[in-house]
Each structure stands twice: as structure tokens, then as C-alpha cells.
A and B are shown apart, each in its own frame.
Chain A
Amino acid sequence: MTGEREPGAQADANRRARVLMKGNEAIAEAAIQAGCDAYFGYPITPQAELLEWMARRMLELGRVFIQAESELGAINMALGAAATGARVMVSSSSPGISLMAEAMSYMAGSGTPMVLVNIMRAGPGLGGIGPSQSDYFQATKGHGHGDYRVPVLAPASIGEAMELMATSFELAERYRTPVMLVADGILGQAMEPVDLRFRTPERQTFDWALTGAAGRPGRVIKSIDLDPEVLERRNLDLQHKYREIARRETRWEGWQLHDADLVIVAYGTAARVARTAIERAREKGIRVGLFRPITLWPFPSHELARLSRHVGGILTVELSAGQMVEDVRLAVEGRCPVAFHGRMGGLVPTPDEVMGALKALKGRVDRIASPERHAHMAPVSRWHEPPERTEAEPWIHERVRRGGRR
């Protein structure tokens, strides 16, 4: 995302040959080109175009597409197809992902590979359809029940989302795990120039896939084990797998970190807002860099911890009330102040807002540089409060306008 443009005539010709694609459609096509055999979905804004693209293209290609009766139906169809070794994908947006949580747990427990795309919208509940990153906890800490994790990839551009689709299938099959790709509604709805260069992960033969027990004993894909000793061993195996994933598959990107006094930690769309804010800050002589996690789980904790030893302060920017910031603070372990700026409800922090938060952080850091620094070490959060919220709640106005109680 933050990579500079290549110079040269060939690079220029390639740039001009790029195609304008909508995020949802580009993600769908990238999945198809990555060899997705079967897609199961259910309509929900803001990812409906992904389903629609699949509806046309998968059937054109003679592959499997089903619009299921619910997100429950969709992900369980995916479970069945994946159990036979097929390359399988589902997609939805936040409320639908909540419904899929059950099967995610089963698939993590039984080691069934699958790719799940969440084009996140604002919650809680039905919430709204605006862009959001308020499913960070859901994606990285939970969805379903039990001690499990799934790799979570968070692109910041449509081109990166396409590349990470192929990566998602690779990780899913390499580690026999569901993999999530999360993007907020902006990345789903926006259009950007993309290269139509796709990657198709190599096909593996699976010694676990259900193909019919011809000439061998029956295979079972399951998560149940009522013997606590056996179940603990299975869990230990899972944890071993997660450590291996954390060791080998952690991804992040740094930008302008070489001389940074302050660092913004942000992913997805928030990282792009941060980039613009950083450009403005540097014009004003504030040296700021960007640390962008690409895998939200495994979170790049070690890298961030190392960074926190060399910078004055960290600002986390999210489209949420502050979710990833908890992982940032765990990684930083109080070595420097960690501030937060976020918007909710489908709103996106603007570069100006982020600039404001940066200036506030710089003020704190400068004070900390004074002898009484320890007094200032406690982390603080700051939500953007629109000015009208300091007056009466909007619903009171509403009631007054309507003329009393009704």
C-alpha cells in the first residue's frame, strides 16, 4: 500500500494498463483465480457485489455457487465442501459473521481449511452499513467458543486484498485452518486501479479429505472428544500450530519509521488516513511513521515492542471504540505512551482529526521528556466527540420537536 511507484517506461506502460475494479468484485475475482472451487453466501450490505460477482462467474466456470438460506447455511455448506478437500470460500458482513461463528469454531477444532471474507460494517446489532473496524475483537479474539485462533489478514488497498486472497487460501490449506480476510465497507465499495496478475496457490493432496472410503478405513473430520485427556492433547496440538503460525506468518508494513519520533499504528482504511495525516505532519516538521499490521492475528507484537523502545509515543487509529489498541498496549508494555483515536457508527477519522490527535500526543510526549515523566505514563484514550453531543441528547430534541411525549 505504501510502496512507492516504480520508475521506467515499462512500469509506466503497466500502470496505464491497469483496470479499475470495485473492491468486492476484485476480491471475488481474485478468489476465483486463486482456484476457489465453491462459494457459499447470503446477501448483506456492503458485500453484496461479492456474492453477485460469484453468482455469475462461478457458474460460468462450472464451479459451485449457492446462495444459502442463511449465513449459517452458507458456512456449513462450506464446511461440508471443505471436508472433501475442495478450495472453499464464504463472505459476509459483520452481522452475518456473527452467525458464522459457530461453524468457525467447528472448523478450527476439526482442522478444516476455508477462507472467510468480512466486509465490516458498523455495529453493534444491526447497526448500520457504513465502514467499520469494530469486528477486530470478533476476528482476532473470538467468533465462536473454545481455545482457537484463525489467521486474520487486513488489506489496505484493493490490490493488496487481491494478493491476500491467494495468501489466505495458502494459509488455510498449509495449516488446516479457517482464515479470515477483513476489510471495512470502504474497501468493498471503492474502486481502484488493479493489475490483473493473479496467483493460484499450488494444489495439495490431503490425507485427511473425505473422498469415500475406497480401499482404506473411513476417515472422520470432527471436533468432539469427550475424554478430557484426549481433548487437552488436541488443544495442545492446536496451540502448537498457532505458535508456528505466529512464528512464520506474521506480516506488517512500516513506512517512514527510520526517523520517527511518533508512530501511528493502524490497519486497513485507517492506515491510509494515517498516511495522509503523516504526510501533513511531516510538512509541519513532526516526524511520524506508520506501523501497519497486515496480519491482525498473529499480531506483530515483537516488532511493535522493538519499535516502542525507540519512539516517543504511539497513536492507534481505528474505525472503532478502540479494539486493536489493546493489542498495541500489550505489545508496548508501557514503554511509551499509547494514545487512541477512533470513530464509530460508520464514520471514518479524517486526516485532520488524526493530525489533532498527533499534536495532542506530541504535547504529552514532550512533557514526558521532562523530569516528572513517570507521572504521565498512564495511557489515555480519546474518542472523537462531535460538539453537539455536549448538549442535550439528540432524542430529546426529537421529542421536543414532536411536542412532548408520544
Chain B
Amino acid sequence: MTLHTPGPESPAPGASAARLIYARPEVLRDRSTHYCPGCGHGVVHRLLAEVLTELDLPAHTIAVAPVGCAVFAYDYLDIDFVEAPHGRAPAVATGIRRVRPEAFVLTYQGDGDLAAIGTAEIVHAAARGERITAIFVNNGIYGMTGGQMAPTTLLGQKTTSSPFGRDAALMGYPIRITEMLAQLPGVTYAARGTIADVGSIGKLKAMIKRACQVQMEGGGFAIVEALSNCPVGWGMTPQQSIEHLKGPVVEAYPLGVIVDRGAVAQPTHDLGCPSPAHPEA
């Protein structure tokens, strides 16, 4: 892995220290997170920091934080952030997008935020083909409020608000919202990855990178769903939660690129704006 901006612990040029192969991207703040032990959010933050750094984006980025576990994302990523009300991140991002055509606009939402309370906002931002990159972390539960059922919770899964397991007759079926969004012509890129293992993490990073490049190339809406775990909410050890993720979760939410329409010929608004890589152009 090559990093353009090594962290402060990187050796001076010519120093005879051991060869550095792995460092904290500078945009990832040097502090421990509030996330629970074994939580996948940290991995997604890390991947995001790496991709932003590799694409030279941090100085151009305006990000939107959700309500949910990732509400404090701005404590870990040293970029401009605005907090959105619960579910409204895509609308907030739309406002930024339209008045700041040169900015790189990023949203980070969980599944309660995006797939329950914020369905209208995500669907219409996607339908308008807003040139924004959405990172959607799906762990199938409301983690921050104590592990209640989410729209993405698997059938049969026990949560604090589905104590006898999710019953389709009473509580409906899990939503594959990324597939739903992928049908919209305004969506340039939609993909689902996971943090379940090292190989998957590499693929997830490639998806995030592609979703960012789509925006830089002037494409429409791009979304990456990251299947993640919630050991505390699921009532499992971190190891058990990873096994669960690889098994029933991935089975319910198939991995892969759902659509990639390429960055050109979007039937959406032409802002006539420069790509974010050339803000002054």
C-alpha cells in the first residue's frame, strides 16, 4: 500500500530505519475512537482516510455526518464536516454540492439513518443524480441507541426491539436499498462490500475509491454499502460477529458491484463546474 502523505512517525529521507510499509494517513486523527471493541466503523473510517489521501481529496472535501454511531466521524477524520439531522445527510449534501461545485462532497450514513428515517432523502438525491459519494455502513441494527431492530435486520434476528426475533409477518422484510437505488439512472455507481476479512477489505477499499473517482470525473450519484458488524448489538463476541457477517449477512446482502454506468453521459444537471481535482480550473 502506497501512501502519498505518510504520518508523523515516518522516517526522514535517507534515515536508516526499518522500511515503513504501513502508516496512519494524516487525515485520520491520532486518537482512539468511541466505537465498541470489534466494531467495523473503524475499518471503514480507515479505508476512507486512505482513499481520500490517495486521491488528494482532504483539502477539497466537505463531509456530512449522520445521526447514529458515526455521528462523531468528524472527531476522527480531519476534514470539514457538517452534522445532519437523522436521515437527512443526502439533502444536506445536495445543498453543499449545488453551492460548492468545486468541492468533493461525501456522506457517511448507517442503515437506520439511510434505510429507515432517511429513505426519501437518499432516493431523491440518487434520483437527481447528485454528484455526491455516499458511504453506507450496514450493520443491521441501531447500535447507538442500544441495539434495536433496523430495516436491514435479518429475519429471525433478535434485537432489543424484536426480542423474539424479526418476524416478517409483523415487521416486514429486510431492505436491499442499494439494489433499489441502483435502478435509478442518476446512480452512476452502486456496490456492496464488507469488512469481514482482509480480502474483502481490499475489495471494499477499491469500491470506495471507485465511488470517489466517479464524483471526481463528473459522474452522478455513487454509493458503497459496507456490510459491517455490531458485536455488542448482536450479542456476540467480535469473532462470532465476523463469522455471522460472512455467513447469513452476506447471504442476505450479496457482495459485488451492482451497477457501474461509467462517469459520463449522466442525464442529470450540468453544473458546468470543474472537477474537484482542479478546483481553480
B74 near A220 (CB under 8 angstroms)?
Answer: yes
Judge whether B121 and A69 touch: CB under 8 Å.
yes
Q: Is A210 an interface residue (CB 8 A)?
A: yes
- Contact of A130 with B by CB under 8 A: no
Select which of A40, A77, A213 is within 8 A of B59 by beta carbon: A213
Name A79's closest neighbour in chain B (CB-CB).
Answer: B92
Given contacts A72-B120, A213-B59, contact A40 B83 (CB under 8 A): no
Given the known inter-chain contacts A68-B124, A214-B59, please indicate yes or no for A76 contacting B84, CB distance below 8 A: yes
Instruction: Pick the residue among B71, B81, B98 that contacts A38 (CB under 8 A).
Output: B98
Determine whether the beta carbon of A80 is less than 8 Å from that of B93.
yes
A residues 53-95 near B (Cβ < 8 Å) are 64, 66, 68-70, 72-74, 76-84, 86, 88
Which A-chain residue is minimally distant from B81 (CB atoms)?
Answer: A220
**A residues near B140, Cβ cutoff 8 Å:** none
Q: Mark B63-83, 1 if CB is under 8 A from A, else 0.
A: 011000001001001111111
User: Which of A102-110, A154-162, A361-369 lies on the face that meets chain B?
Assistant: A102-110
A66 to B92, CA, bound (A): 12
The 0/1 profile, CB within 8 Å of A marked 1, for residues 93-116 of chain B is 111111110011000000000000
Asked if A211 and B80 make an inter-chain contact with CB atoms under 8 angstroms apart, the answer reads: yes
Q: Are B81 and A106 in contact (CB under 8 A)?
A: no
Query: Once the chains bind, are B82 and A213 in contact (CB under 8 Å)?
Result: no
Most buried by A among B64, B83, B93, B120: B83
Tell me whether A222 and B65 are in contact (CB under 8 A).
Answer: yes
- Whole-angstrom distance from the CB of B80 to the nearest CB of chain A? 4
Q: Which residue from A37, A80, A102, A110 sits with its C-beta under 8 Å from B94?
A: A80
Closest chain B CB from A136 CB (angstroms): 25
Chain A hits for B64, CB < 8 A = 80
Which chain B residues border A214 with CB–CB below 8 Å? 59-60
CB distance from B30 to the nearest CB of A (A): 13
User: A81's contact among B83, B96, B279, by CB below 8 Å, is which?
Assistant: B96
Report whether B80 and A80 are in contact in the complex, using a CB–CB cutoff of 8 Å.
no
Interface string of A189-223 (1 = CB under 8 A from B): 00000000000000000000011111101111111
Given A220-B83, A224-B83, CB of A64 within 8 Å of CB of B98? yes
Instruction: Tell me the complex Cα distance, A66–B104, Å.
Output: 20
Q: Which B176-213 residues have a C-beta within 8 angstroms of A?
A: none
Q: Are B85 and A103 in contact (CB under 8 A)?
A: yes
Per-position 1/0 for B40-80, Cβ under 8 A of A: 00000000000000000011111011000001001001111
Cβ of A108 to closest chain B Cβ, rounded Å: 12
Instruction: Decide yes or no: A80 and B59 within 8 Å by CB, A72-B88, A220-B74 being known contacts.
Output: no
B95 touches A221 (CB 8 A): no
A83 neighbours in B (Cβ, 8 Å): 62, 82, 92, 95-96
Contact B85 A84 (CB under 8 A): no
Q: Which residues of B contact A66 (CB under 8 A)?
A: 94, 98, 128
A223 touches B92 (CB 8 A): no
Q: Which residues of A contact B85 (CB under 8 A)?
A: 76, 79, 102-103, 106
Given contacts A72-B120, A210-B62, contact A79 B95 (CB under 8 A): yes
Q: How far is the CB of A227 from chain B (nearest CB, A)?
A: 12
Residue of B nearest to A85 (CB): B99
Cα distance A69–B120 in the bound complex, in angstroms: 7
Q: Does the CB pair B74–A212 fall under 8 Å?
A: no
- How many residues of chain A have a CB within 8 Å of chain B? 40
Of chain A, the residue at the smallest CB distance from B60 is A212
A123 CB, min distance to chain B CBs, angstroms: 23
Complex-state Cα separation, A72 to B154, whole angstroms = 29
Shortest Cβ distance from B81 into chain A, in angstroms? 5
In the complex, the answer to whether B83 meets A110 with C-beta atoms within 8 Å is yes
Q: Which of these, B65, B78, B124, contacts A213 with CB under 8 Å?
A: B78
* Beta-carbon contact of A210 and B121 below 8 Å: no
Across-interface contacts of B81 in A (CB, < 8 A): 210, 218-222
Give CA–CA (A69, B83) in the complex, Å: 20
A211 to chain B, nearest CB (A): 7
Q: Is B216 part of the contact surface with A, judged by Cβ < 8 Å? A: no
Give, as a whole number of angstroms, the nearest-CB distance from B72 to chain A. 8
Chain A positions 234-275 with a Cβ under 8 Å from a chain B Cβ = none
- A80: chain B residues at CB < 8 Å are 64, 82, 84, 91-97
Chain B's closest residue to A37 (CB) is: B99
Q: How far is the CA of A185 from the CA of B77 in the complex (A)?
A: 47
Contacts of B128 in A (CB 8 A): 66
- Residues of B within 8 Å of A222, CB to CB, are 65, 74, 81-83
Task: Tell me how far the C-beta of B187 lies from the nearest C-beta in chain A, rounded to whole angstroms.
Answer: 16
Report yes or no: B95 in contact with A213, Cβ–Cβ below 8 A: no
For residue A106, which residue of chain B has the nearest CB? Answer: B85
Q: Least Cβ distance of A357 to chain B in Å?
A: 43
Of B77, B84, B123, most A-chain CB atoms within 10 Å: B84
Whether A79 contacts B84 in the complex (CB less than 8 A), given A212-B62, A213-B59, A218-B79, comes out as yes
**Is the Cβ of A73 less than 8 Å from the Cβ of B121?**
yes
Pair A213/B80 contact, Cβ less than 8 Å? yes
**Max chain B Cβ within 10 angstroms of own Cβ: one of A37, A70, A106, A212:** A212
What are the residues of chain B within 8 A of A64 when measuring CB–CB?
Answer: 98-99
Q: Which residue from chain B places its CB closest to the CB of A221 in the assembled complex? A: B82
Q: Is the CB of B80 within 8 A of A77?
A: no
Are A212 and B59 in contact (CB-based, < 8 A)? yes
Residues of B within 8 A of A77 (CB): 91-92, 94-95, 98
The smallest C-beta distance from A175 to any residue of chain B, in angstroms, reads 19
Residues of the B chain whose Cβ atoms lie less than 8 Å from the Cβ of A74: 91
A38 contacts which chain B residues (CB < 8 A)?
Answer: 95, 98-99
What residues of chain B lie closer than 8 Å to A218, measured between beta carbons?
74, 77-81
Knowing A80-B91, A212-B59, A212-B60 are in contact, say whether A69-B124 is a contact too (CB < 8 A): yes
Residues of B near A106 (CB, < 8 A) are 83-85
Q: Which residues of A contact B93 (CB under 8 A)?
A: 80
Given contacts A66-B128, A76-B91, A213-B58, 9 further A-B contacts (CB under 8 A): A66-B94, A70-B120, A79-B85, A83-B62, A84-B99, A88-B99, A212-B279, A220-B82, A221-B81
Sample (7) of A-B pairs whose CB atoms are under 8 Å apart: A68-B124, A76-B84, A77-B91, A212-B62, A213-B79, A214-B59, A222-B82
The 7 closest A-B pairs by CB, nearest first: A80-B95, A76-B91, A81-B95, A80-B92, A214-B59, A77-B95, A69-B124
